[in-house]
A and B are shown apart, each in its own frame.
Chain A
Amino acid sequence: MIVENVLFAFQEVFHWKNLGLMVIGTTAGLIAGSIPGFTITMAVVLTLPFTFGLSPVEGLSTMIGVFVGGLSGGLMSGMLTGIPGTPSSIATTFDGFPMARKGRPGLALGLGVWSSFFGGIFSAVLLVTLAPSLAKIGLEFGPWDYFALVLFALTITASLSGETLVKGIIAGLLGLFVASVGEDEINGVARFTFGNETLESGFDFLPVLIGLFAFSQLLSDVQDTEKARRPLMSGVEAKGVRVEHLAAIRIILSRWVNVVRSSLIGVFTGVLPAAGGSISNILAYDQAKKASKNSSEFGTGTPDGIIAPESSNNATAGGALITMMALGIPGDVVTAVMLGALLIHNVQPSPSFITENPDIAYAIFIAFFLAHFIMISMQAFCLRAFLLVVRIPMYMLAAVILSYCAIGVFALNNVQDDIWTLFVFGLIGYGMKLLGFPLAPMILGVVLGHVAELNLSRAISLSGTTDQFLLDMVTRPWALFFLIIAAFSVVFPWYQKARETASWTLAYLPALMICLAVPLSMMDGWPRTLIAVVLALGAVYLLVRSARRGWSVSTDDAA
């Protein structure tokens, strides 16, 4: 059965039309990722209107191409100009730019491109092996557990969104509210329509998303008149640069530990809802620096400083896809858009997604592998295209893309009201950005609002009473598990700030481990009990070690 599905998926993905779309998607992603001010999310969001006319496999393959291309495209501008194309390539510039300035731009680009490739392939292998297993665990979830999982997704998104936690949570809650406008799925009752008939069907998710992300981003990009009128980049010297493929591969293979470690960091970060490549590339760079015997060379153009961020940011994509495919929860905003693309085709992502839609699931696996090969082969061409695109002023791109947003949003449902939704949410998104509210939690709130309400309703019905529901939430192992990590994720920003100064932070990790050991020990099967015991023992060890050191936070650094 699996072989049949894989063969069928191969047929679909390697169809000439799909291959053509993937090449276009990856190329577009590479170019969009290389332009500062453009984000990968925006590139994927703008691809969305095209996908409704395509089959699910074609649409998702194109979006995966854009996603993978975008993650690798950021390195071009970062290395050649010192300005990262996307936030997921920030750490790449730390060593990529100095190496290019030292006269080795070809090697710097080669290291970046091939590290992206190896990181991506590593995460693709993990995606294929882990997603079906994780989906099996997901099948154990009841409505209580799903409701708790959504709470966790929102709290972790808010705490990792880089802004203040309170604003992040408010943004997430506003997203939940937006999702509740219109006819309620459970009882068919209209809510918050204020007498407006067009609001009865609620806000369509995709115009909201395009408005919040693309529209508001474009307005931010043209806010400064002088900057908007200048070419996107000036003084880019890349004529005659040849990517040194073989030399780069040799160097990367000789530093395979760094590739594996960074890729693992990338996958783990991607699995967490909303923690994307912008976080993983810096984490991986930091870990590579700490692990290196020549840490003082970091920042001067060392290969390890390019390998770590680039392999981790591409690996993040695989991690995000694992969460989406196994649990039906978007791993980041890009996968939230992909989730929207699946919904256009009436495919509901859930733990049963892989078993119910094996053709699409295996096609996603194969397309993710294939996109990395396309990315490698298109890099040289895109370097030339990048040099042409950066001559265009931002205001020209912004005006054209805004009109495209309007056409694309209309094309999704053939409804003019959707353009009004785009307009209103463009305004809201721009305002929220100006006021320091992160947009990622709001997007997740809009996507997960229905899931949360539906599961809350089911859970209350099954529990019988509200009291019993509350009791179930803390006695069901998975629900308790997610509630615990949700609670710890709320405290995480304070922990991160105080990590090297306050002694209470030494108890954070052990406390989390002990708390997680409780629901794990309540679960069936000896492996989980074993994990619970290991976690508890690990926590005790950490506590004893900290106590012996007198709860001093700077012991390691001082040593």
Chain B
Amino acid sequence: MLKRILIDLDKCIGCRSCELACATEHTAPQERALLSPKERRLLARMRVRNGSIEIINTPDGKPVFGQQRTKIPAGKAYPIHCRHCEEPKCVEACMSGALARRDDGAVGHDRVGCVRCWMCIMACPYGAILIDPFGKSILKCDLCQGRKIPACVESCKKGALVLQSDEGPVAIDRAECVTEGSD
């Protein structure tokens, strides 16, 4: 029963709650204590990307290197996650074997086996694989192992993230939701 996260663009307001929920889910409490919310957000395994091609936030209109612009105009927010593709290009490209399809159908990543060769990043057509800001590994969605509903889906108050299984959308049972987890 393969699950996927679909995006309802009409509902997404670009609040980025999902990023923070993802980052929180995937960091241990002791690690979180050392990070500011801004730093912690960089550990999220998905990103809300900006669909606007206008250059914003740079006074002279020139690109700013090494600095992602953060403000997202209305209607231009695109949450981008791993799709857990049927024929994943990232797994084909992974030379250490750290990326592999798990028994539940999700594409999993072993952070210890990862050698930081960036081959998966080169292969993923969605740009859904991110670099760990501390340089240790890559960051990619694991569909929140051990959770029924992934943290990002659960955190979206607008219902813009929809968990889809082979049988259709998976309903969120708020009573079952947990607020915190750890990697």
A interacts with B: no
Measuring CB to CB, which residues of chain B are less than 8 angstroms from any residue of chain A?
none
